[in-house]
Structure 1
Amino acid sequence: MDNVRLSKLAKQDIDSIWDYTEQNYGIRQADSYTHLIEQALNDIEENPERLGTKPRPKLGGFIRSYAISLSKDRSSPKIKSPRHIIIYTLEHEGEIFVLRILHDSMDSERHFPDGIDK
């Protein structure tokens, strides 16, 4: 993932997702879910405006989101019902900056700070 950078909050999101999944479903499931997130990031890197990405103008001008469930067929082992959304923006020279990775039940506007620490 040479063209993908994660904000500090996105890194914390991944750690929190892993911790929650490990506590509730075990280490194998936590590792599998993290692998799915990595696959989704690879898919976004391959095509940042791929089918399934959505513009998020309420969050900011060039911000997009992508449901990791759209990558589950390219990840192994399969995750039955992934429910996280990657929120990202395109930066100069095709770089993708991941702002947050949030559960789909969360109000993304509420969990989206004005100043993301790059």
Structure 2
Amino acid sequence: MGDYRLTSSAESDLAEIADFTIENFGIEQARRYRDALEACFQTIADNPKLGREADEIAPMLRRHQHKSHVVFYLPENNDVLIVRVLHENRDFEQHF
């Protein structure tokens, strides 16, 4: 079973997602979405090749869609580094 770590940018992304979700859908939905994202991160850590390559953005970068967000990550030995968690409508290259 792999582990995952978050960059400070990914942590900021999660805080923004939580703020938006609380404001628009309430605290309970924010908790459910956070839990679902954390489960997604663990799934990625357990299966690092699950996502598609995103070499057009950065070498070795991979991406995995989770609902309306895209998780960008780097496989590192037996772990993964979660680099960003961005809304699917964002200009991804602008955030790297």
Question: How high is the TM-score relative to the length of structure 2?
Answer: 0.94
* Partner of residue 63 from structure 2, selected from 62, 65, 81: 65
Deviations 1:54-97 (A, max 9, x none): 100111110000011xxxxxxxxxxxxx2001000112x22201
Q: Which runs of 4 or more aligned residues in structure 1 lie more than 6 Å from their structure 2 counterparts after TM superposition? A: none
Q: Residue 31 of structure 1 aligns to which amino acid in structure 2?
A: R
How much does 1:42 deviate?
1.0
Higher Rg: 1
Query: Is the 8 Å Cα contact of residues 10 and 85 (structure 2) preserved in structure 1?
Result: yes
- Residue equivalent to 2:93: 109
Q: Does 1:86 align with 2:84?
A: no
**Structure with more of its chain in strand, by fraction:** 2
Q: Does 1:11 align with 2:24?
A: no
CA RMSD in angstroms comes to 1.3
**For 1:106, what is the secondary structure of its paired residue?**
coil
Aligned residues: 96
Cα distance in 1 between the residues matched to 2:75 and 2:32: 27
